[in-house]
Chains A and B, each alone.
Chain A
Amino acid sequence: MIFKKRLLMVIGILVVMISLFAYGQNRIIVRTKEQLIKRIGATETTDWKKLAEQQLIDMKNRLDSHYMDENHKSSLRVRIEQLQYNIDNDINPLDSSLAKFTTRFMEQAIFLFLPLLILILSADLVSGESSSGTIKLLVARSVPRWKILLSKYLCLIMMEMLVLFFALMISIAIAGIFFGFGGWMVPTATGFKVLAGQLDTSEVINVPQWHYALMVYSLAFYVSLIVGSISFMISVIVKTTAASIGIMMSTLIAGSFLSYFLSDWKLTRYMYMVHLRLTDYMSGHFQPIEGMSMAFSVTVLGVWAVCALVISFFYFTRQDILV
């Protein structure tokens, strides 16, 4: 199986990246704590509790204010819930946890790192056959062409699933060493919406971290499917693996700076690359731009994938394979 080697390479890359990420996170936390101690002379680790309780008092006071609008009140309530949970369960909000790490890693990986991994696996599914010449053997058989292509695509889906599975397992294994194995029930805020071009926090709620992680991974899988499909199409059309990888990589990287033109140039929002950050909609860390929403992004990505697949099958079944 050719993809056994590829898969091992992907796993290797995952191990390295996750280790670096976990180490980095840990350093940041240690350094923040040191700074806090230096600045205000907090020498005991229980001082975080006093600070948290203080913040709780402040926030509860503000909730009583006459003049606060719904937006602020909801986000305040959510924060109060979170802080109360931390105090009740003796969790320092500065500390990271395994659950937080896993979600954070995937949120960061979803728009470039994960697509690149998928790319490694998918880019030469068909173009590899072309360049190595085995394609003649494939199509010379009496199996209909679309079935051959379909089997390759289904393999791709399974590989995408495996990548996510390994990402999860490796995250748990490596980050578990740094952060322990807990944090799955900690409440996390989500439910951010866009109202009249501004971030709307009036329906913000808390969900337990495991639930949040599940949603993040589902979005990651969706992105993998889409990127995989588009890459699959390129692989069918282009004859060499190098060109296939090159084209996909340039589109992905272009996506990073095309995002800046989202508000000025209407055309960029129909390109798939700028919609890869689906998890940002859930965490509220996005720029509320007119017309950009989770539904819109998901639809654009979906349309791209369907078109890519249609083109792939059409092309593959019609093209002449020259011996």
Chain B
Amino acid sequence: MLKKIIWFSILLLSLIGIITLSAGFYQALTITGQPSRTGAVPIVRNDTGENPGVSLPKKSNSVSLLIMGDSIAGGTGDETGKGFSFYLRDYLKNQTPKEVMANTIGIDGLQTNGLLELVHGEKLKPALAAADLLIISIGGNDLRRIRRLKDMARDDTFQKTFESYVTGLTSILKTIRRTNGAALIIFIGLYNPPTTEISSDDIRLLLAWNEGTQKIIEQEERAIFIPTYDLFKLNVSKYIALDALHPNAAGYQAIADRIGKNIEGYFNRGLQPGQKSN
């Protein structure tokens, strides 16, 4: 009798199982099926009243900011949601009577070749051409990938990565200058986030990276390198967000203040931003 019950229950279980699992199987298939698009992706743009920067023609009585790069350019970690565009606009209000417009494109995880693609692309051209101030944050994600390696291959990999970064950066600067010869380029240097275990090797590589970048940026007359390493070295609890990687609102404000201090003279030397030299 017991045997019959066991057999019967096994049979029943199998039947129920087969039915439910077939349904699940069919669902799994449909959910991973062919995508309904064919490939060319239309870029969705919503124009909000606050950011008309892209579609309006360049006005000579306005100052145009373009902030581009990785998640730091995008303001990730700022608990008030403001980001560079807000802090810089705020600062510039005191420097110039002109209207300040800002566009931000900060992509999480963006690496140098990603930014290169972006500046080559058509959709960024109008904003690039119209910009008076260009704030760039890139390279952090390239460098982070090396730090994940823990052995002697590091220096080699660092050399290779740094070289391709330099090539990419030079290319980015060239492309920007082709579209816009007058904009002031502000490059934000890398700092050491507390997420990684700090070894003296890590720091050496980071400083070498920053030094190399600075050498390239400072060769340009209308470009400036803004170091952030010292800002964040001792102020981790004050300036770093909860994810231990990005700056928080105070951190972003600190960087923006530093940018502001560095470009104070630029606005007062008689050359108004927006007026191309000669």
- Is A66 a contact partner of B25 (Cβ separation < 8 A)? no
Would A66 and B124 count as touching, CB distance under 8 A?
A: no
Q: Are the CB atoms of A193 and B35 closer together than 8 Å?
A: yes
Q: Residue of A at shortest CB range from B29?
A: A294
Verify A73–B44 contact, CB threshold 8 A: yes
The answer on a CB contact under 8 Å between B39 and A195 is yes
**Which residue of chain B has its CB nearest to the CB of A211?**
B27
Chain B positions 10 through 37: 1 when the CB is less than 8 Å from some CB of chain A, otherwise 0: 1101100110111111011101111111
Which of A190, A215, A217 counts the most chain B CB atoms within 10 A? A215
A190 touches B194 (CB 8 A): no
Interface centre among B14, B44, B242 (most CB of A within 10 A): B242
Complex CA distance for A295 and B34, rounded to whole angstroms: 9
SS class, residues of chain B in contact with chain A: loop
For residue A222, CB closer than 8 A to chain B, the reply is yes
The smallest beta-carbon distance between A14 and chain B, in angstroms, is 16
CB pair B104–A65 under 8 Å, yes or no, is: yes
Check if B28 sits within 8 Å of A55, measured CB to CB: no
Chain A positions 205-238 with a Cβ under 8 Å from a chain B Cβ: 207, 211, 214-219, 221-222
Within 8 A of A (CB), among B37-65: 37, 39, 41-48, 51, 54
Whether a CB of chain B sits under 8 angstroms from the CB of A31 is: no
B24 touches A203 (CB 8 A): no
Contact of A196 among B24, B39, B83, B124 (CB under 8 A): B39
A66 and B45 contacting across the interface, CB-CB below 8 Å: yes
Chain A residues lying within 8 Å of B13, measured Cβ to Cβ, are: 161-162, 165
Would you call A202 and B35 a contact (CB within 8 A)? yes
In contact, B35 and A200 (Cβ under 8 angstroms)? yes
The answer to whether A66 and B108 touch (CB under 8 A), given A215-B27, A218-B21, is no
Q: Check B41–A164 contact: CB distance below 8 A.
A: no
Of all chain B residues, which has the CB nearest A50?
Answer: B242
Q: Return chain B residues, CB-CB under 8 Å to A47.
A: 242
Does A54 count as interface, using CB distance less than 8 angstroms? yes
Stretch with Cβ within 8 A of A (4 or more), from B73-81, B155-163, B203-211, B253-261: B73-81
With a 10 A CB-CB cut-off, give which of A55, A67, A221 has the most chain B CB atoms: A67
Minimal beta-carbon separation of A7 from chain B (angstroms)? 10
Q: How far, in whole Å, are A87 and B54 apart by their CA atoms in the complex?
A: 35
Give the distance in Å from the alpha carbon of A62 to the alpha carbon of B106 in the complex. Answer: 8
The docked-state distance in angstroms from the alpha carbon of A58 to that of B83 is 10
Expressed in whole angstroms, the Cα–Cα distance for A272 and B244 within the complex equals: 44
A281–B29 alpha-carbon span in the complex (Å): 10
Q: Most chain-B Cβ atoms within 10 A of its Cβ — which of A58, A64, A65, A68?
A: A58
Chain B residues with Cβ below 8 Å from A137 are none
Among B22, B41, B83, B124: residue with most chain A CB under 10 A? B41
Instruction: Tell whether A57 is near chain B: CB-to-CB under 8 Å.
Output: yes
The answer to whether A221 and B10 touch across the interface, beta carbons within 8 angstroms, is: no
Stretch at the interface among A34-42, A113-121, A126-134, A312-320: A34-42
Q: CA A216 – CA B237 in complex, angstroms?
A: 43
A65 contacts B105, C-beta separation under 8 Å: yes
CB nearest neighbor in A for B43: A69
Q: Name the contact of A161 in the complex, choosing from B17, B123, B194 (C-beta under 8 A).
A: B17
| B117 is an interface residue with CB less than 8 A from chain A | no
Inside 8 A of B44's CB, which chain A residues have their CB?
A: 68-70, 73
10 extra A-B contacts, CB within 8 A, seeds A58-B71, A215-B31, A294-B32: A62-B76, A65-B105, A66-B103, A70-B41, A73-B44, A157-B14, A162-B13, A195-B37, A217-B24, A294-B33
A-B contact pairs, 11 of them (CB 8 A): A54-B77, A54-B243, A66-B51, A67-B105, A70-B44, A193-B34, A195-B39, A215-B27, A218-B25, A282-B32, A293-B32
- Interface on B for A, CB 8 Å cutoff? 10-11, 13-14, 17-18, 20-25, 27-29, 31-37, 39, 41-48, 51, 54, 71, 74-79, 81, 83, 103-108, 123-124, 194-195, 237, 240-244
